[in-house]
Structure 1
């Protein structure tokens, strides 16, 4: 191996030219790129290192810190429509829920349609009007109870519910503020994706079908 070959960056190799027996060229094994000049090889490597460093810096800059993630919180209201396949198919409204998942989705979809229409009818104060109607419907129609709320929360957060009044339906669907890691994944993802005043699409969890309104 020549001294030049020893100086090559990883991924490059020295190749004897067949057309010019007294010459060697440099081949990048992965990309197939060729060059006659060693200086071009090192220039190419410097460019690649610069790009990699810039990309790493961009990723680091855009990645939230643990502290920021822990501090981020939302406050949301929700309406839950259970079905026979829910983990606990009962609620304060009905001892045994027998409706199918399709019927539950249709009911939740109808509720969401009413809420969307309300927001459109009140463009000057959409959140105020939407929240008022949302709370009214939640108190009458939501199947959320102590057991349902416990299933929305992730298991490690259950102790925080002790001594509280977890039936959100009686509070107009208000779950209060919560941070990441507190709710079941599908519910958390939907809630954190909303802007304040945003209304979710239908969200499915083990508890049933949810409609979520972010209020803070």
Structure 2
């Protein structure tokens, strides 16, 4: 019985906030956001930092695929977070582009996860036909998405989700490419954590300063 309770507790531990949070909000964000009708979230550029011993058991190509999967999972989790806010009436009249549409439009313009950083947020917004773009960088020592975590477990022999992660998110205006909002946070994860857990923890307080959302 004790063993069962321990396992249940272990798998339900959520992400814990650690270290300093850096939040920037453009003074004009509220004013600019009023004219925005639709925004897009692009895949987050991910870096999975493995130990030298682990790197011996994985090729650059396989690591790239894992990082790509992780970045796309964060994108999807962010999209889901916005949808939940919208359902609760906390998202004003803003629409969020479906990631499938975002991916299709980027692919149509020969933009992939591998070269997306070669384009400015303003250029991406024009291609996606949105008023603002949410982008970010994500650094971790273990992947959080289920698919990437399992793949890495099979390759280098460890399992579970993120031990530590740093995420840096930005909102850029489409019209002039101006940075409207930036949020940087370091968190610790545990077994049972997911990209949704990460986004929920990150946005719990930051959303109060995000002009698109209404305060609870």
TM-score scaled to structure 2, two decimals? 0.25
The structure with the largest strand share of the pair is: 2
Of structures 1 and 2, the one scoring higher in RCO (CA 8 A, sep 6+) is 2
Q: Whose radius of gyration is greater, 1 or 2? A: 1
